[in-house]
Chains A and B, each alone.
Chain A
Amino acid sequence: MADTSLSPAEARQSAERIKTSWFSALLYRSEALRGYLLMSPTILILTIGIIIPFFILVAMSLWTRDGFGFDTTLTMANYARTWEEPIFGALLQRSFWISGVATVATILVCYPMAYYVAFHVHKNKMMWIILMTLPFWTSYLLRVFAWKVILGYEGVINSGFMSLGLIEAPLEFLLYSQTAVIITLAHAWAAFAILPMYVSLEKIDKSLLEAATDLGDGPVARFLRITLPLSMPGIIAASFLIFIPTTGDYITPALLGGPDGAMIGNFIQLQFGPVNNWPMGATLSIVLMLWISAIALVFLFVTKKAQDKIA
């Protein structure tokens, strides 16, 4: 728009505006300013909702609980506790383990599906994508609840198998275990993870695959040398999209985890609820964020190195 010449009407208008106020004149001339102005409400809300709360969270993590109030003298005591008391480390480790396994499982299960739609579906592609992603937009709570119905002590699997005479007594390991949490997380996030992988697979230039075939690569070699490396960005994006939100999840472990499946999210929620130690909860949130960032950075670094090697 900037490089097109102004029509007479526009020129007259702009002349009038310059006369009326310097601000609108500035606005009229500066494209960036207009852009910032348009984005400012969004940025403002997100600043109120993210940046400011985050700083207060950091401040609170340096306070301590004092009866029903807070002792606002700054101290690293909470951080020291998370370092010294083994329960915190163990919970973090378990959270990352559960999320990690769920992430790998989701990617392995979703990749062939994304591949199928990207390469082998030619009619109604949109319909397939909508079908695959539809469940993600519906209630997370209810999708987790569905797994409680399935895996429960008298749930679909146990009562189903028992009425078929396959088992005598309910299988107790189904509900309230890490396996239950991992299955549920993988199922709940599959619909979301598939999108970035599909997009990167869809972008691959098909003539590269034909070239590889012409040069004598079999299907496996072709996949390993072309399709997989080129779809890596999608796999990496999907890993982040699953791993990061699931490490802080507390609904799934609360409904399906039991004592063995409790994660750091449940512990944070406890601090803000029944335990009523907000500063500790704030500290745990910050520690979780730091660990997630560290893991994400290492993951990015390693995959970057690996990609450089392939390329």
Chain B
Amino acid sequence: MSARGDTGTYIKRPNRPLQIYAVIFLIVLYVPVLFIPMFSFNDSIYVRFPLQGFTLQWYAELWSRDAVWAALFNSVKVGAVVAAISTILGVVAARAITRYRIPGKSALVTFIMMPLVIPGIIFGVALLVLLSRMGVPLSLYTVTLGHLIVCLPFAVATLLPRFEGFDPSMEEASADLGENGWWTFWRVTFPMVFPGVVASLLLTFTISFDEFIMAFFLTGTDATLPMYIWGQLRFPQEFPSVLALSSLILFISFILVFIAQRVGRMGLEDA
């Protein structure tokens, strides 16, 4: 049967039905989300066909709302702190996992990754119970703690391949040439894992910025953006402005994650 594979393997032959399936898959994946920006420019309070004409009034309305700005500010603050802390901890943990022989390492890694597979509601509720028993009032700090737990596994998972991907003999060479541990880290290790650090920062910021489940249980009086949106969903007349706000959030999230994914894989595989 080798005659079939004279120009490579039979697998190289294009598979028409699968190609069509893949295109449909991507369309179905993206189109539902695209309805949000589409209706955000619609000149009608009702979200329905036929479209009534183009308008920017819903965006203009957002601009003049103090509550939106306050929520945006809260989300950015929480997101920035969460991104910074989870990335720093992620770098340190990923380094420990890849460079040192630690007994019980796989159990520790499983523990770090646990938030990925446990329903968010359980963490939210459990943290809420702990904080209230300790008499800690709910605030942006408690939301930050909740988001840290959600983001840490993603930070470690983003950084691990970076640390696995480079040759430890580089660090040894630096040590042999007389650099101490600190300078070796800054001059050899850090530049090599830098793309992973950027990716982790962007990714964890976006996850925190968009996170709702933890925020729902742990927010005090200061709402984050998703909490603000959730509150507005009760009022049908607010629908168009929610659509406008959602479009902006989706747009920013897509850009940040896209950059994170591109940068994160830079130099790892032939992208």
Contact = CB atoms under 8 A, between A and B. Distances in A.
Band of interface residues on B: 35 or more
A43 interface: yes
A35 B101 contact: yes
A245 B21 contact: no
Contacts of B121: 248-250, 265, 268-269, 285
A27 to B, nearest CB: 11
A135 B31 CA distance: 11
B49 A142 contact: no
Interface in A88-126: 109, 112-113, 115-117, 119-120, 122, 124-126
A255 B97 CA distance: 41
B58 interface: no
Contacts of A42: 89-90, 92-93, 112, 152, 156
Contacts of B176: 4, 7
Interface stretch (A79-87, A150-158, A172-180, A303-311): A150-158
Residue with the highest number of chain B CB atoms closer than 10 Å, among A146, A213, A250: A146
The range of chain A's interface size is 35 or more
A145 B39 CA distance: 13
B117 A49 contact: no
A134 B264 CA distance: 13
Interface stretch (B66-74, B142-150, B188-196): B142-150
B172 A112 contact: no
B168 interface: yes
The dominant DSSP class at the B interface is helix
Interface in B77-110: 89-90, 92-93, 95-97, 99-103, 105, 108
Contact of A41 (B12, B92, B206): B92
Interface of B: 1-2, 4-5, 9-12, 14-15, 18-19, 21-22, 25-26, 28-30, 32-33, 35-36, 39, 46-50, 89-90, 92-93, 95-97, 99-103, 105, 108, 111-112, 114-123, 125-130, 133, 145-146, 148-149, 152, 156, 168, 171-172, 175-176, 178, 180, 203, 206-207, 210, 212-213, 216-217, 226, 229-230, 233, 242-243, 246, 249-250, 253-254, 257-258, 260-262, 265, 269-271
